[in-house]
Every structure is written in C-alpha cells, then in structure tokens.
Structure 1
Amino acid sequence: MIELKNIVKTYQTGDEKLVALDNISLTIGKSEFTSIMGPSGSGKSTMMNILGLLDHFDSGTYFLNGENVSNLSDNQGAHVRNKEIGFVFQSFNLMPRMTILENVELPMVYAGVPAKERKQRALKALERVGLSDRVKHKPNEISGGQKQRVAIARAIVNEPSVLMADEPTGNLDSKTTIDILRIFQELNADGTTIVMVTHEPEVAIYTKRIVSFFDGTLQDDRLQKPKML
C-alpha cells in the first residue's frame, strides 16, 4: 500500500539547514492500522504531510498503491490525493456554512460525481459513523465528537486506499476519543488501511503497529496486539 525508500526532507531556516526526515524507509501494508508517534520536532508531522502528498521531499522514492508518486506536480498530487487518500484532522476542517450532508459530499464534487450519486454515497457514509439523523444540521449545531465523525464520513466517502488521521482525538474528551477509535477499528476490520499520527500512548494502544520517530529518524517499529473496543 505504502512504500517509502530513503526519504530525506530538509528545511532551510536562515543559514541553518534542519533535517526533518533523515533517510527514512518504511512499508505499510494493506489493511494495517498504524500509529506514528514521537515528540514535537521528531518528524512525525512531516512524515504525515509527505504520506498525504501535502509536501514534497528532497530525495528518495514513494510508492502509493503501486504508483510512484515521488515527483508529481501539484495538480497531479491533488488528483491522486482526492482518489487515494482520505484525511481526518484534529481541527475537523468542516465548512461552517454547509450542512453535514454537503460537507460529506464535498470530495465527490471535486471528483465530478453526479449529484444523485453524491447524496446516496454521503448518506451511506454518515450512516456508517452513526450520524444519519444529523444530515441537515450545520457544524456549529453538533458536538466536537460528532464533527469528527462527520470528518471521518467525508474522508471515507470516496473509498480511498488509505485513511490518514492527524491527531484525530486531540480536541476530544476521553469518552468521545473511545467512540472515534471504535469507528477506526470498525473501518479497519472492514479492510480500510489507516495511518494515524498521535503523541498519546493511550491512543496508540488501539492500533496494530507503532512506528516511533525521534529527531527525524525512525527509532522503533513494532507490531502489537491492539486493545479492542
């Protein structure tokens, strides 16, 4: 599903060059549920941006679902992103003036899906996350946990190859965090590949694999028996 070979990413700040990722090689297979962990400045967010084709890297090779995506233009990257990757962010990133249904339909608008099919698929995705009764609400009319469930529905509506979640429980209380992780585990059980950035060990224990970064290097990569919900 994901194969990185010798990825290097640097940032120039004044006269100083910061190595954000130092020769990273990593493979993530289909239907895995992987946590990416590490302290601030470890490279985990840079890794997520590269995996999600939101940032370029200096050298190395990246294969996504069998396709070499190392040197795509911005337009090509956007096309692959919309087709292959679903994103869930800490801050939800919902459009405040749109209804819940319209928010979930949005990726399909960009993909050119006809209106009738958009509505059917959006309703199905909302049903999957338990929000069929909220389709006409606006984001400011629902709770934080419900907003994140809308974001998950939006992320899966195009049936992407991989779901990427960046600190998806960072703004949620402990009970709501468990609700979101349960949805992730259910999606993973149905075959969805999930890569999740988190700094919280109590969240990572619900995943099948933990990849740890420190100072731009891959420090640890281990499989585990996840805590099931």
Structure 2
Amino acid sequence: MIDITDIRKVYKMGSESLTALDDVSLTIENGEFTSIMGPSGSGKSTLMNILGLLDTFDSGHYVLNGTDVSGLNDNERAHIRNKEIGFVFQSFNLMPRMNVLENVMLPLVYAKVPAKERKLRAEKALEQVGLADRMYHKTNEISGGQSQRVAIARAIVNNPSVIMADEPTGNLDSKTTIEVMRIFQQLNDAGTTIVMVTHEPDMAEYTKRIVHFRDGKLLKDEQQTPKRLPEGEV
C-alpha cells in the first residue's frame, strides 16, 4: 500500500537547515493499522504530510498503492490524494456553513460524482459512523465527538485506499476517544488501511503496529496484538 525509500526532507530557515526526515524507509501493507509516535519535532507530522501528498520531499521515492508519486505535479498529486486518501485531522476541518451531509459529500463534489450518488454514498458513510440521525444538523449543533465522526465519514466516503489520521483524538474526552477508536478498529476489520499519528501511548495500543520516530529517523518498528474495543453502538 505504502512504500517509501530513503525519504529526506530538509527545511531551510534563513542560513539554518533543519532535517525533518533523514533517509527514512518504511513499508505499510494493505490492511494494516499503524500508529506513528515520537516526541515533538521527531518528524512524525512531516512524514504524515508527505504520505498524504500534502507536502513534497527533497529526495527518495514514494509508491502509493502501486503508483510512483515521487515526481507528480500539483494537479496530479491532488487527483491521487482525492482518489486514494481519506484524511482525519485533530481539528476536524469541517465547513461551518454546511450541514453534516454536505460536509461528507464534499470529496465527492471534487471527484465530480453525480449529485444523486453523492447523497446516497454520504448517507451510507454517516450510517457507518452512527450519525444517520444528524445528517441535516449544522456542525455547530453537534458535539466534538460527533464532529470527528463526521470527519471520519467524509474520509471514507470516497472508498479510499488508506485513511491518514493526524492526532484524531487530541481534542476529545476519554469517552468520545473510545468511540472514535472503535470506529477505526471496525473500519480496519473491514479491510481499510489506517495510518495514525498520535502522541498517546494508550491510543497506540489499539493499533497493530507502532513506528517510533526521533530526530527525523525511524527508531523502532513494533508489531503487536492490538487492544480490542468491544463491539457496540457508537
């Protein structure tokens, strides 16, 4: 699914240079649920942005689901990004003037999916995250946990190859954090590949693999039996 080789990213700040990623190689197979951990400044967010085609790199190679994305231009990257990747961010990134259903349909608008199919697919995605009864609410009428579930529905509506989740539980209380992690496990059980950046070790326990970063280098790569959340209503 994801294969990066010798990825290097250096940020220039005046006369200084900061190496965010130092010749990092990593392979993530289809169907994995991987968490990326590391202290602030370790390179984990830079890696997430590169994997999500939100940022470029200085050298190395990146193959996403069989496509070499290393040399693509901005338009090509945007096309692959919308087709292959679903994003879930800490701050939800919902459009406040749109209702829940319209927010979930947004990636399908960019993909030029016909209006009737957009609505059907968005309704199905909201059902998957337990929010079918909130689809016509505005985003300021739902809780933080519900907002993150809307963001997950938006991430899966295009049937992406991989979900990239950047600190998805960072703004949530413990109860809604568990709700979100349960949804991720259910999606992964159904075959969705998930890559999650987190600084919370207890959240990483719910994933199948933990990749540790420090100072722009891959420090440790561990496979594990994930802690399971019970099935239940979200």
Bin of the TM-score, shorter chain as denominator length: over 0.9
Equivalent residue letter for 1:130: G
SS in 2 for 1:17: strand
User: Hey, what does 1:74 align to over in structure 2?
Assistant: 74
Q: Percent identity?
A: 74
> In structure 2, what is the equivalent of residue 143 of structure 1?
143
2:46 equivalent in structure 1:
46
Q: Is 1:4 aligned to 2:8, yes or no?
A: no
**Amino acid aligned to 1:8:** R
Q: Secondary structure at the match of 1:95?
A: coil
Tell me the equivalent position of 2:118.
118
Number of the residue aligned with 1:157: 157
Whole-angstrom distance in 2 between the partners of 1:126 and 1:96: 17
User: What is the CA-CA distance between 1:143 and the residue it aligns to?
Assistant: 0.2
**1:188 counterpart residue number:** 188
Q: Distance in 2 between matches of 1:72 and 1:42?
A: 26
Question: What is the CA–CA distance in structure 2 between the aligned matches of 1:17 and 1:64, rounded to whole Å?
Answer: 28
Other-structure match for 2:65: 65
Any idea what SS the aligned residue of 1:62 has?
A: strand
Aligned residues: 229
Which residue of structure 2 aligns with residue 207 of structure 1?
Answer: 207
| 1:13 equivalent in structure 2 | 13
Name the CA distance, whole Å, in 2 between partners of 1:49 and 1:15: 24
RMSD (Å), alpha carbons: 0.3
Deviation of 1:213 (Å): 0.3
- Which position in structure 2 is the counterpart of 1:25? 25
What CA distance in whole angstroms lies between the structure 2 residues aligned with 1:135 and 1:53?
29
Q: Deviations over 1:179-221 (max 9, x none)?
A: 0000000000000000000000011000000000000000000
Letter in 2 for 1:84: E
Instruction: Give, as a single letter, the amino acid of the residue that structure 2 aligns with 1:168.
Output: P
CA offsets per residue over residues 147-192 of structure 1, 9 Å max, x none?
A: 0000000000000000000000000001110000000000000000
Residue in 1 that maps onto 2:232: none
Please give the alpha-carbon distance, in whole angstroms, between the structure 1 residues aligned to 2:59 and 2:169: 32
State the alpha-carbon separation in 1 of the partners of residues 78 and 101 from structure 2: 23
DSSP-derived class of the 1:159 partner? coil
Q: Look up the match of 2:179.
A: 179
Q: Distance in 2 between matches of 1:153 and 1:214?
A: 32
Q: Partner amino acid for 2:61?
A: T
Q: What's the offset of the Cα at 1:14?
A: 1.0
Which structure 2 residue ranges, 5 or more long, are not aligned? 230-234
How far 1:71 moved relative to its partner?
Answer: 1.2
TM-score (norm 1): 1.00
Residue identity opposite 1:148 in structure 2: Q
Aligned to 1:89: 89
Counterpart AA for 1:226: P
Code of the residue aligned with 1:211 in structure 2: it is V
CA drift at 1:8: 0.4
The separation in 2 between residues aligned to 1:135 and 1:200, in whole angstroms, is 31
Deviations 1:97-141 (A, max 9, x none): 101000000000000000000000000000000000001100000
Give the Å deviation of 1:2. 0.2
The runs of 4+ residues in structure 1 deviating greater than 2 Å are none
Task: Give the secondary-structure state (helix, strand or coil) at the position aligned to 2:80.
Answer: helix
CA distance in 2 between counterparts of 1:41 and 1:100 reads: 34
